[in-house]
């Protein structure tokens, strides 16, 4: 068992540390709890990913990639639900933004760069990727429209009310969710061959460790999910204190914590696939993960918020909307020729850096 541990797994030591900080009164320190909870979620999200990988090994790269992305995003969904329950709408929205741009800029950029250093050109099926980037554009439009609505309607006396914004957002969330169902039908049913890595997908499991039994995989998945849920509650409960202590904004925390912590699992898997020249799978993980956040997690949060009686709308701040649009366009531009090289990885990372600089300097905007 021990030899199966990856370097990141040593971060599991932060699970008991976080528990101690939370439940031993003498050790109570909110900033420390925030940091330790975040660090502890990283290997747990990774374990969720590995368990999923073992479960999905015989289901082909398409479904495997999708399942991977699903449970990579389960961590984000759990964190967001905890924040929603506490009424931290600004953190929820920032974490959605951070997840979307983190996956297609940071995760994909690192993958393309790492793969590009080893291989001169890496090829992938551009029809498969294009269907995802187009859906991402759709999502970006879905996030842009509520802001346009607000700024235009507000110019009319009585033209804008929170209730109207919520109805508009609910209607858009339904459209995005239905489009997601169709996207899944496309990638898992009618055109699944496009997502299999161009026919040269080998039968070897992408994992280098011996296969886990389904029983073990399910057990790990359940335990890791429960632990992530608990730690997310700690994380969200201390975000306000940590934010003030660290002197950064809610938005910056949401975007950085989620892009780094929540996506660490996808991150390592995507980079690893790129270095094995499986760019179809790397792109599938990174772009698919953003897609799932935008077309599945965001609408689900809107639906849940309505059921909880404190409706969340889809109106993001202008910098968030701009960040998503900019990230989607760069990815569409880079992927439209069906090949990548190391410079494109640098370009994606540069855009991520420029956006991180913006959010670092921005005063709190929620």
Cα 95 to Cα 85: distance, rounded to the nearest angstrom: 15
Binding region for its own copies (CB under 8 A) out of 37-45, 57-65, 302-310, 328-336: 328-336
Which of residues 141 and 260 has its CB atom nearest to its own copies in the complex?
141
Cα 31 to Cα 242: distance, rounded to the nearest angstrom: 5
Alpha-carbon distances, residue 161 vs 28, 89, 170, 172, 321 (angstroms) = 42, 18, 14, 17, 21
Bridge partners, residue 340, by sequence = 122
Residue 190 in contact with its own copies, rule: CB under 8 A: yes
Residue 168 in contact with its own copies, rule: CB under 8 A: yes
Give residues 297-326 in contact with its own copies (rule: CB under 8 A): 317-319, 322, 326
Residue 171 in contact with its own copies, rule: CB under 8 A: yes
Residue 333 in contact with its own copies, rule: CB under 8 A: yes
Residue 277 in contact with its own copies, rule: CB under 8 A: no
Give residues 102-131 in contact with its own copies (rule: CB under 8 A): 120-121, 126-127, 130-131
Q: Give the shortest CB-346-to-its own copies separation in angstroms.
A: 5
Q: Give the shortest CB-300-to-its own copies separation in angstroms.
A: 17
Residue 97 in contact with its own copies, rule: CB under 8 A: no
Residue 198 in contact with its own copies, rule: CB under 8 A: no
Which of residues 75 and 330 has its CB atom nearest to its own copies in the complex?
330
User: Where would I find the beta strands (DSSP E) of the chain?
Assistant: 122-123, 339-340
Cα 107 to Cα 261: distance, rounded to the nearest angstrom: 12
Could you give phi then psi for residue 339, rounded to 5 degrees?
-150, 160
Residue 354 in contact with its own copies, rule: CB under 8 A: yes
Q: % helix / strand / coil in the chain, to the nearest 5? A: 80, 0, 20
End-to-end Cα distance, the chain: 46
Give the Cβ contact number of residue 364 at 10 Å. 11
**CA 252, chain centre distance (Å):** 15
Residues that bind its own copies in the complex, under the rule CB under 8 A: 120-121, 126-127, 130-131, 133-135, 137-138, 141-142, 144-145, 148-149, 151-153, 156, 158-159, 164, 167-168, 171-172, 175-176, 178-179, 182-183, 186, 190-191, 317-319, 322, 326, 329-330, 332-334, 336-337, 339, 341-344, 346-347, 350-351, 353-355, 357-358, 361-365
């Amino acid at each position: 068992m021990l030899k199966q541990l990856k370097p990141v797994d040593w971060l599991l030591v932060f699970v008991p540390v976080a528990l101690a900080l939370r439940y031993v009164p003498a050790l109570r320190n909110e900033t420390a709890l925030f940091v330790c909870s975040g660090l502890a979620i990283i290997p747990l999200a990774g374990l969720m990913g590995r368990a999923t990988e073992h479960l999905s090994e015989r289901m082909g790269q398409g479904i495997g990639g999708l399942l991977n992305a699903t449970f990579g995003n389960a961590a984000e969904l759990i964190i967001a639900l905890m924040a929603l329950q506490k009424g931290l709408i600004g953190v929820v929205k920032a974490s959605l933004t951070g997840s979307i741009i983190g996956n297609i800029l940071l995760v994909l950029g690192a993958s393309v760069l790492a793969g590009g250093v080893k291989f001169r050109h890496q090829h992938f099926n551009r029809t498969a990727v294009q269907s995802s980037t187009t859906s991402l554009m759709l999502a970006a439009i879905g996030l842009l429209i509520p802001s346009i609505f607000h700024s235009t309607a507000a110019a009319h006396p009585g033209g804008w009310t929170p209730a109207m914004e919520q109805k508009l957002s609910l209607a858009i969330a339904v459209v995005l969710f239905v489009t997601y169902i169709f996207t899944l039908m496309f990638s898992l049913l009618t055109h699944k061959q496009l997502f299999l890595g161009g026919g040269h997908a080998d039968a070897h499991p992408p994992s280098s460790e011996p296969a886990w039994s389904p029983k073990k995989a399910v057990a790990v998945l359940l335990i890791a999910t429960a632990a992530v849920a608990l730690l997310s509650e700690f994380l969200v409960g201390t975000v306000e204190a940590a934010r003030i202590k660290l002197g950064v904004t809610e938005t910056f925390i949401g975007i950085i914590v989620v892009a780094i912590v929540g996506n660490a699992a996808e991150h390592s898997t995507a980079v690893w696939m790129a270095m094995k020249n499986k760019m179809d799978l790397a792109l599938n993980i990174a772009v698919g993960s953003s897609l799932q956040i935008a077309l599945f997690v965001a609408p689900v949060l809107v639906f849940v918020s309505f059921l909880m009686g404190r409706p969340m709308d889809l109106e993001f701040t202008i910098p968030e909307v701009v960040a998503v649009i900019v990230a989607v366009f760069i990815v569409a531009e880079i992927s439209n020729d069906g090949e990548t090289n190391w410079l494109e990885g640098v370009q994606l990372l540069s855009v991520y850096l420029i956006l991180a600089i913006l959010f670092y300097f921005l005063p709190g905007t929620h």
